[in-house]
Every structure is written in structure tokens, then in C-alpha cells.
Amino acid sequence: MTAQLPYPPLDPTDKNGFSYETVLKRWPIIITGVIDELHQQCHNLSLELQKGAGPRDILEAKIKEALAIVNEISKLKYEMARDRPLNPVPEDGEPYSDLYNKELESLAGEAKNTWFTAPWLYAECYLYRLLRSYLAQTQHWKDFDPFLAQKIRTFKHSYNSILQLATSMHELEADKEILVSDDKLEVFFRQMIQMSLWGNATDLSLLTHLSVTDIERLQAVGKEAQAARHEFILKDDQDAVWNHFKSLKKARVDIILDNSGFELFTDLVFADFLVTYTPHVDKVIFHPKMFPWFVSDVTPPDFAQSFELLLDPAFFDSVSEDQSNNRQHLIAMVNRWKGYVESGVFVLSVALESRFGEDTHDIADFWTSPYPYWNMESLAPELFGRLKTSDLVIFKGDLNYRKLTGDLKWPAWTPFAEALRGLAGSFPILSLRTNKADVVVGVDRAVAEELDAKSGNKWRVDGSYALISFLGRTTDT
């Protein structure tokens, strides 16, 4: 895996890197969260048993399976802390266990197959694939999402920003006439890009303990908040994206989704803006992950459920009287989105009712592989072929960025196109990423060196800086 790469992959052997801290502290917290969630489920099932609220044998079998999973995960946590080798992913009948294991064998050949030596990108993807295999092999927990409760809790707390954005979209209706001028459209287009960009700040695998105030601060969506954050965008290709965008007519945009909840909401708002208020786009395809991934990433059930939650009057229980207008704006907007889903203007790349771990024959499985995206053409030719016909592919978030650049130790001033390697030019790529991992490219050398000298790797990992990276198509379709 690491042979013939221009730079080595980031890994936890560098104790100053974020991956070291991740293996040492962040993953144990995430894993413990899964154990707690399963205990909570067992507790609820025991109460049902006591009340006689269901077939006894099934309830008992469920508890037994959950405790067996807890046992596996506890073992995993123990082995991780002691830097033991990663074990093969069990053959669980779901995509890519063989690929993960082939990679693991080659890492063993390089003596990089333990938790504190394996490339970070591989090991982190492996961790979520392994957790999936524990659930996939059961009878009763195949459809269980151990992160769902957490995703929903944070989504609930995002209501202030959600209502504010719904009203901004409602106000756009009044500006519809002026939007026919390119100048005005450009202003809104840029605001939308930045909203979707900063929507990436609330991912739950980084922010393991998030208060409501933290959430509101991260989600500040007004114009002033955007302006204040502008200086934190270290690479800003908005001019180039706009030039590309304004040449499009009735185009198709693909969004490679990242997190569920507030970030997905901002992506839907962005997509809504593109199809409702511009003549340039008439279809948006959303690409989810096929099983719970990096805690908060969007799965097909998350996508489908988001519309229902946003429309449910009981969901945002803290909405005040004077926010009732905003609420109406939200309802109108989400109903429009539902209409778009029904009419095929908004499309999920896989069936809406897909179940976790289903084989999508190349269409979505690649997103949960451990591979950099420059392998897409050879490993997922069907997906690659589809994206080649897209007019703009938007990659959301940090992990997508790590995979676009292979999570290598590129110098921060490496051109984005160079870091994409074989993927460069295949289709127009826009990456919107808040910095939550060490890899950074496309930044001015003097700026990067100054930030490194000032704060070490903090600017690369703490989510306060961001990158808007664009590269157009350079090959024939």
C-alpha cells in the first residue's frame, strides 16, 4: 500500500501528529461510546422483558448478541491500547472484507500492521469496518446504528441555526428576480459555499463532548459570522468554482456527503439553492455511506429520516413562540425538498430504503473502502464512470479530503492537482473541508510555515481553518 508513493502516509509513529492522539485518546472514547450505547440497549430490552413486552426468546437472544458484541469491542479496546496487530476483518458477507484483509497482509509484510504503526487512514477505516462486521454477523443487530442516538441529539440542538437558515432561504424568494443577474447570483453562490463549508465543523468523531453553546458557536450562519471566518479559509478557489459554475446549464451536481444532522441540512440548503434559484443545475445526486461510518456520516436511513425529523413538530422541542414564522419557513422548504426527492431532482445514489451493508455493486461501497480516491477508476469503475459524467462533484469534509490527497505527508504548498494524482482532471472537483487532520495541500508556503511555527499542527487539526479547493476537468469525457 505504501510502496511507490511520493510521500509516506501519515501514521501514529509521529507522536506530534494528530493520528497519535487519535489512537491514544479519541478512538478509545468513540469505542467506549459504542459499548455504552449497547449497554443502554440491553437495559431497555431487560425492562421490556420484565414487563413482558415482547416474545421472551427474541428479547433474550437480542441481549445475548449485544453482550457478545460488547465483549468483542472491549477486547478490541484492550488490544488497541497495547499496540497489538490488527486482526483480519471476519468474512461477514458484506463488501470489501477481502480488500481490507489483503491490505492488512501487505502491511504485515512491512511490519506496519499494529494500531500504533499502521497508516492512519487505513487503520481508521478498518476500525469502522470491523465494528460493522460485529453487527453484520448477528441476527438481531444488522440494522442497528450505534451512533444514531448521538447524531439525533446533536441534530436536535442545531435548531437555532436551522431555523435561521430556513428563513434566509425564504427571504431569497423575494430576491428571486434580482438573482437573474450574474453578479447577485455570485454573491449568494459564495455564501452558500461557505455555509456548506462551515457546516462541516460539527462532526461527531472529532467533537466527542459537545455542549449546546459549542454547537451554536460552530454553526453561526449569519453574514457577519461568515465574514469573520473568511480569513480562516487558507485556500480559496471560489473564483474558479464560480467561473466553472456559471458556464453550466441544466447541469448535474454530485455531493459526496459527509456528516448527518446539521451538515447534511446545509448540503440540502445548498442543493436547494442550486436547483431552485439558479438556471445552472437541475439535478443533485447525494452519495451516502452504506453503514455507520466515522460516527456521524450520512447513511441512507439518516438521509430519509432527516426530512421527517425536520417536519416533526415534536423534534425541536425548544422552539419558542417567536420562532413560529421561522418554523413555517422550514416546513415549506423541507416540503419542497420532499417534492424534489419524489420528482428525481434530488436523488440518493442508492435506494432510499437500502439497508446497511447492502452490496451496491460499486456505487457506494467505495466510500467505505480504506483507499485513496486516486484508486477509484481501477477499484470502482462503475462509480468512476458515473462521476465522469457529472458537471461538478463536491466532496464534503475532512475524511473525503484525506482520501482525495491519500493522507500523505505532502508539503502544505503542494498543488491540489498534484496531490489528487491520477484523479486530477477526471471530473470537476470541489472539496469543502474544515481542517481536522494533518494533511494540507494548496496553501501558500509562507503562510503554512508561519502557522506551523506559531502553533505546531494545531491549525491543521482543530477545525478552525478551512480549505476550498477546486480543480476542473482536463480530460475528455
* Binding status of residue 437 toward ligand F6P by CB under 6 A: yes
Query: What is the CA 60 to chain-centroid distance, rounded?
Result: 35
H helix or E strand, kind and range, residue 430: strand 429-434
Residues 6+ apart with CB under 8 A from 431: 394, 395, 400, 401, 404, 416, 467, 468, 469, 470
Q: Shortest CA distance to 165 belongs to which of 245, 227, 223, 238? A: 223
Residue 145 in contact with Mg ion, rule: CB under 5 A: no
- Please, are residues 309 and 338 in contact by the beta-carbon 8 Å criterion? no
Applying CB under 6 A, which of residues 161, 238, 259, 299 lies at the interface with ligand F6P? 259
Q: Which is nearer to Mg ion, 281 or 394 (CB)?
A: 394
Q: Is 439 in the site for ligand F6P (CB under 6 A)?
A: no
From the list 194, 259, 266, 426, which residue makes contact with Mg ion (rule: CB under 5 A)?
Answer: 259
Residue 151 binds which entry of ligand F6P, Mg ion, none, CB below 5-8 Å type-dependent? none
Pick the closest to residue 413 from 443, 451, 389, 382 (CA basis).
443
Strand spans (E) along 211-263: 233-236, 251-256
Is residue 11 within the footprint of Mg ion (CB under 5 A)?
Answer: no
397 lies in the binding site for ligand F6P (CB under 6 A): yes
Q: How far is the CB of 227 from ligand F6P (least distance, A)?
A: 23
Q: Does 294 bind Mg ion (CB under 5 A)?
A: yes
Report d(CA 328, CA 307) in Å as an integer: 14
Query: CB under 5 A: which stretch of 23-31, 213-221, 257-265, 356-364 binds Mg ion?
Result: 257-265
Q: Choose from Mg ion, ligand F6P, none: what does 437 bind? Cβ within 5-8 Å by kind.
A: ligand F6P
65 contributes a contact to ligand F6P by CB under 6 A: no
206 contributes a contact to ligand F6P by CB under 6 A? yes
Stretch that binds ligand F6P, among 6-14, 106-114, 197-205, 413-421 (CB under 6 A): 197-205
* Residues 112-131 contacting ligand F6P, CB under 6 A: 124
Stretch that binds ligand F6P, among 80-88, 218-226, 334-342, 392-400 (CB under 6 A): 392-400
Exposed, middle or buried, 464 (CB in 10 Å: 0-12/13-18/19+)?
A: middle
Q: Which listed range, 139-147, 200-208, 244-252, 332-340, lies at the site for Mg ion (CB under 5 A)?
A: 200-208
- The single residue among 94, 145, 203, 267 that binds ligand F6P, judged by CB under 6 A, is 203
- Residue 387 sits in the site that holds ligand F6P (CB under 6 A): no
Angstrom distance (rounded) from CA 333 to CA 330: 5
Pick from 62, 112, 436, 460 the residue near ligand F6P by CB under 6 A: 436
C-alpha cell at 272: 436547494
* H/E stretch holding 68: helix 56-81
* Pair 432, 438: CB distance under 8 Å: no
Cβ-proximal residues to 3 (8 Å cutoff; 6+ apart), any chain: none
Which of 258, 272, 302, 438 is close enough to bind Mg ion by CB under 5 A?
Answer: 258
**Distance separating alpha carbons of residues 70 and 190, to the nearest angstrom:** 46
399 binds ligand F6P (CB under 6 A): yes
Binding site residues, ligand F6P, CB under 6 A: 22, 124, 200, 203, 205-206, 258-259, 294, 397-399, 402, 436-437
